[in-house]
A and B are shown apart, each in its own frame.
Chain A
Amino acid sequence: MPPTTDLLQGTLDLLILQTLATGPMHGWGVAQRIQQVSRDVLQVGQGSLYPALHRLEYKGWIRADWGNSENNRKAKFYSLTVTGRKQLETELETWERLSGAVGLVLGRIPEAAS
């Protein structure tokens, strides 16, 4: 097993869900999008990306359909399901609470609290 903690794994799930919230996307697209949005800070390797996608699919939070990519190749597109959307909301809440708490511990007043 790769040395990931629950926090990191949970975070990756959150990032994927958030990314897919903008619309259906294939695995490659998800990875690129996360990298772009985070200004190259977060790089998701396929070694963690695909297991995570499959996990979320098995949980019923995202759905996979085969379709054609922008360059007309067969690709698997993932999209958020209704439960996935709800899940994203709760995860976001949890994340905010957590980052707020961490911020307090580190002595920085989080923006959300001000």
Chain B
Amino acid sequence: MMSEFWTRLRYLFTRREPDELDDELRFHLEQAIDVRVAAGMSAEEAHRQALIELGGMQRTREQCYEQRPGWWMGTVAQDVRYALRGFRRNAVFTVTVIATLAVGIGATTAVFSVVDRILFRPLPYAHDDRIVSVGLVQSLERQEFAVGGFFFDWRDNQKPFEAFASQGAMPHACDLVEANPAQLNCIHAQAGFLPLLGVSPVLGRNFLPEEDRPNGPRVALISYGLWQDHYNRDPGVLNRLIDVDGSTARIVGVLPKGFELPTLQAADVMMPLALDEGNERKSSPGSAMRAFARLRPGVSIVQAKAELEPLFVHTRDTLIPAPIRKDFHLSVRSLRDRETKDVQSAAWILLGSVFAVLLIACANVASLMMARGEARERELAVRSALGASRGRLIRQTLTEASMLSLAGAVAGIVLAEGLLMVFLRLAPTGIPFLTRAGLDVRIALFTVMLSLVCGALFGLLPALQTPRAVALAARAAKSRNRTMLRRSLVVGQIAISMVLLSGAALLVRSFQNLEGQSLGLQTQGVLSARIALPGFRYDTGQKKMEFYLRLEAALKRFPGIHAVGFSDSVPPGGWQNNERFADLAPEGKPFPEQGTGGSVVSRGVTPDYFRALNIPILRGRNFTEEDRQGSDYPVVLSRLLALRMFPGEDPLGKRIHRDRDKLWLLVVGVAENVKNGGLTEQDEPEIYFLRRSVQQDWGGRAPVGEVMSGAAPLMIVDGLVPQETVALWVRSQAAQIDPTVPVEIETLNESVSKLADRPRFETALLGFFAFCGLLMAVIGLYGVISFVATQRTQEIGVRMALGATRADILRLIAGEGVRLIVLGGVLGMAAALAAAQLLKSLLYNVGPHDPVTYAAVALLLALVALVATLIPARAAMKVEPVVALRYE
């Protein structure tokens, strides 16, 4: 085998004397003559007969050459040259095919690269398909959570899992105190957490069980990124003592590159959760955490959930107070669902639409290649008559198809790279993994292959069918068959682009509704500033409050600043604090039944909040500066909440009892509703607490009567001067009080616009694909109609000679196009109506079957398609009858 290979290789590189073969053949001839002469023939006659017997020398010579290994390579260069000449002669065809392929390949590759992680790519854990998120969910928290009060009970008594461990509820900001300080994210996790995920440190080791105990040795794992950026990948980092938030921990390991928490939150340092198991078991509820588990092989999520049910029921009945029991549910979800559930539908829609574009592109390439093949039928016939073998013709066609595909692929990959950059720029922050998306080589290859197949298959059709003699006579019935095929391709293209267009139009309408709606508050000119006070220096509510109040006072002195308020969040969306409706009761009335009434948005604000955001107080009054110094708990209700809690009554002066901590709240005013459930959701009832000038209202720990969440206050500033100036003032004033605190400033316009990022992104993408699809479908339609028109030139000549007017001809050709448009349009409309159901979750204030949208889309498609038909039809109309009759 090897020797054969070497022989082949040798012959590939050594060229033999070309006349060696001639010598050999001449010797053969001479021998033949000799034999005849010896038999008594005259020399001349012998020569003649020997030549006859020998047959075609040239043919033999060629066949001998063809035996040479690698002989065909020479012909490839020939084919390539020939193809290039053809492309140059037919530039429009070439550019169209390449552009079509580029758009198809580029768009598909870019989108697939984005959605791959969301939908398909395995998660970076061992047995990722068996890892689940386990815990309780309730109306205020939709992601599974667990608490120490039941976690250990579940862990010891569960059956469906082979591993069960948890991480802390949330990463928290922490400070690395050393010569080169940094603010980091720290997360706590149990010793069993990394083994559960099948992750082991690249350097050092995981926590030991004895380290995962209260008062155990203080140890830490650091992320690869921290190791790289902060410690220069020094292997000596192991056993180093670091100071995190003022206490020392020993580094025992480095997490692998690309490690991510199953909650997808950033974490630079991981420390043992170190829960006091005995204490936690007894406490109710105990420490909050996120629990994950690995299913035993063969156990499904449904089974696991069923098996956990008794444990859950026990927990619910012992741990959760009876009134709110109904609100808690058991949840077991695959990790992928936990990570990407809310973007999956959008991802599928994007993927679907981009495959639709790819389909249209393929149909277009097929159609164009077929048209070219037909136009070249005669050429192929001539070449075949001149002695080109069928194999050779097929190879030639394949060469052309692969050259086109290759060019299209290169252009497509460049386009994909560009598109991906655009995606990253446009994309909202909420889409997981997007920032890490890179071009996917597998899918690029796949799309290139697919388009190659499209091109080659349809390009080959004529070459395969060419019967030598018939083709010269040309115009046979089979070409009609192929025209039929092309027509159905065009119908398909129109139908698909109808689906794409109507989807895009629905999203555009929905987006208009979203942008155009009234938020109920002023966003223009308002800034929000988030100031994260480092927890270890500002360790009491008093210190925090002093900082904020000093900053407030300093800013209020500026003449151009109209209002300086504090809140813990701003509408219309993002994170905001919640109360349970059932937790609040007007004085003298029973609490509503638990689990009913849903949630109420709550915000802890200062009086200037309403002024800064221009939220009108409808009745009663705003909070006052005196209230801030008082000890009451005044509240302002939104109109919606006032209506629900005090139907038909005057809420002013009424007291509200809060069940949780038995606090009495006093209603002083009613404010107009604001859009507070996100841009696309219904408004929710809202209650405003006053952020008083006492330390527990500013993030301090208070044993009782803590009105607000511990969330850091968000400063809201409304200025009459340009926002840049206001931002500068805020920064400089904050720096004067404490130059080390980081200040994050955002205009409210920006934050609102950010909320619309997702829909904007989806709309822009789908719109772009719909446009590409339409463009390609129109090119396809134009191609078919002009082809049909050329094919019927002679017929047109006859008709005109017999008295048909130019209008008749126009009708004849355009009618063909109209039939295709109507057929495609109707099919597309039916498909679009069916597919629109999938879009439902993305639409805002517009039904999936909105008639106006569909009518507009149909009109647009019809108009554009008609233009594509009329251009070649008019050209056919202008043909001179004499020329037409002589055509071919």
Q: Which of B21, B53, B54, B69 contacts A58 (CB 8 A)?
A: B69
The interface stretch among A44-52, A97-105, A106-114 is A44-52
Q: Which of B4, B8, B25, B68 contacts A50 (CB 8 A)?
A: B25
Q: Is A69 interfacial (CB 8 A cutoff)?
A: yes
| CB-based nearest A residue for B63 | A51
CB distance from B819 to the nearest CB of A (A): 46
A59 to B28, CA, bound (A): 23
CB distance from A41 to the nearest CB of B (A): 17
Q: Which of A45, A50, A60, A75 contacts B64 (CB 8 A)?
A: A50
- Contact A58 B64, CB 8 Å, known A28-B28, A45-B55: no
Q: Which of A46, A51, A74 contacts B54 (CB 8 A)?
A: A46
The interface stretch among B30-38, B546-554, B748-756, B879-887 is B30-38
Residues 1-54 of B at the A interface (beta carbon under 8 Å): 3-4, 6-8, 11, 20-21, 23-25, 27-28, 30-32, 34, 53-54
Interface size on A, residues (CB 8 A): 21
Contact A46 B25 (CB under 8 A): yes
A59 to B2, CA, bound (A): 11
CB distance from A55 to the nearest CB of B (A): 4
Contact B63 A58 (CB under 8 A): no
| CB-based nearest A residue for B53 | A45
Best-buried of A46, A59, A76 by chain B (most CB within 10 Å): A46
Q: Is B389 interfacial (CB 8 A cutoff)?
A: yes
Q: Is A1 interfacial (CB 8 A cutoff)?
A: yes
Contact A28 B60 (CB under 8 A): no
Contact B30 A83 (CB under 8 A): no
CB distance from A113 to the nearest CB of B (A): 33
Q: Is A26 interfacial (CB 8 A cutoff)?
A: yes
Q: Is B236 interfacial (CB 8 A cutoff)?
A: no
CB distance from B263 to the nearest CB of A (A): 65
Contact B67 A60 (CB under 8 A): no
Q: Is A24 interfacial (CB 8 A cutoff)?
A: no
A76 to B30, CA, bound (A): 13
Contact B4 A76 (CB under 8 A): no
| CB-based nearest A residue for B23 | A74
| CB-based nearest B residue for A55 | B67
Q: Is B59 interfacial (CB 8 A cutoff)?
A: yes
Chain A residues in 8 Å Cβ range of B153: none
Q: What mask results when residues 666 to 687 of chain B are scored 1 for a CB within 8 Å of chain A, else 0?
A: 0000000000000000000000
Contact B67 A51 (CB under 8 A): yes
CB distance from B618 to the nearest CB of A (A): 94
Chain B residues in 8 Å Cβ range of A76: 20, 23-24, 27
| CB-based nearest A residue for B31 | A28
Q: What mask results when residues 61 to 84 of chain A are scored 1 for a CB within 8 Å of chain B, else 0?
A: 000000001010111100000010
A46 to B4, CA, bound (A): 25
| CB-based nearest A residue for B55 | A47
Contact A58 B8 (CB under 8 A): yes
Q: How many A-B residue pairs have CB under 8 A?
A: 65
Q: How large is the interface on B (under 10, 10 to 19, 20 to 34, 35 or more residues)?
A: 20 to 34
Contact A27 B63 (CB under 8 A): no
Contact A51 B31 (CB under 8 A): no
CB distance from A28 to the nearest CB of B (A): 4
Contact A28 B64 (CB under 8 A): no
- Contact A58 B27, CB 8 Å, known A46-B55, A47-B63, A83-B3: no
A51 to B53, CA, bound (A): 17
A26 to B25, CA, bound (A): 11
A87 to B27, CA, bound (A): 28
Residues 57-111 of B at the A interface (beta carbon under 8 Å): 59-60, 63-64, 66-69
A83 to B116, CA, bound (A): 53
A2 to B402, CA, bound (A): 29
Q: Is B321 interfacial (CB 8 A cutoff)?
A: no
- Contact A28 B27, CB 8 Å, known A54-B68, A60-B4, A83-B4: yes
Contact A60 B7 (CB under 8 A): yes
Contact A46 B23 (CB under 8 A): no
Chain B residues in 8 Å Cβ range of A75: 24, 27
Chain B residues in 8 Å Cβ range of A73: 27, 30
- Contact A46 B64, CB 8 Å, known A58-B11, A74-B23: no
- Contact A60 B3, CB 8 Å, known A46-B54, A46-B60, A51-B63: yes
A54 to B66, CA, bound (A): 9
Q: Is B803 interfacial (CB 8 A cutoff)?
A: no
Chain A residues in 8 Å Cβ range of B60: 46-47, 50-51
Best-buried of A27, A47, A58, A74 by chain B (most CB within 10 Å): A58
A23 to B105, CA, bound (A): 61
A55 to B19, CA, bound (A): 18
Chain A residues in 8 Å Cβ range of B11: 58
A69 to B30, CA, bound (A): 12
- Contact A26 B27, CB 8 Å, known A47-B56, A51-B60, A58-B7: yes
A-B pairs with beta carbons under 8 Å apart, 8 shown = A46-B25, A46-B28, A51-B60, A58-B7, A58-B8, A59-B4, A60-B7, A71-B34
List the interface of chain A (C-beta within 8 A of B): 1, 26-28, 45-47, 50-51, 54-55, 58-60, 69, 71, 73-76, 83
The list of the 10 closest CB pairs from A to B, nearest first, reads A60-B7, A51-B63, A28-B31, A55-B67, A54-B67, A54-B64, A76-B24, A75-B27, A60-B4, A28-B28
List the interface of chain B (C-beta within 8 A of A): 3-4, 6-8, 11, 20-21, 23-25, 27-28, 30-32, 34, 53-56, 59-60, 63-64, 66-69, 389
With A27-B24, A47-B59 already in contact, 19 other A-B pairs whose C-beta atoms are closer than 8 Å: A26-B27, A27-B28, A46-B25, A46-B55, A47-B56, A47-B60, A47-B63, A51-B64, A54-B64, A54-B67, A58-B8, A59-B7, A73-B27, A74-B23, A74-B27, A76-B20, A76-B24, A76-B27, A83-B4
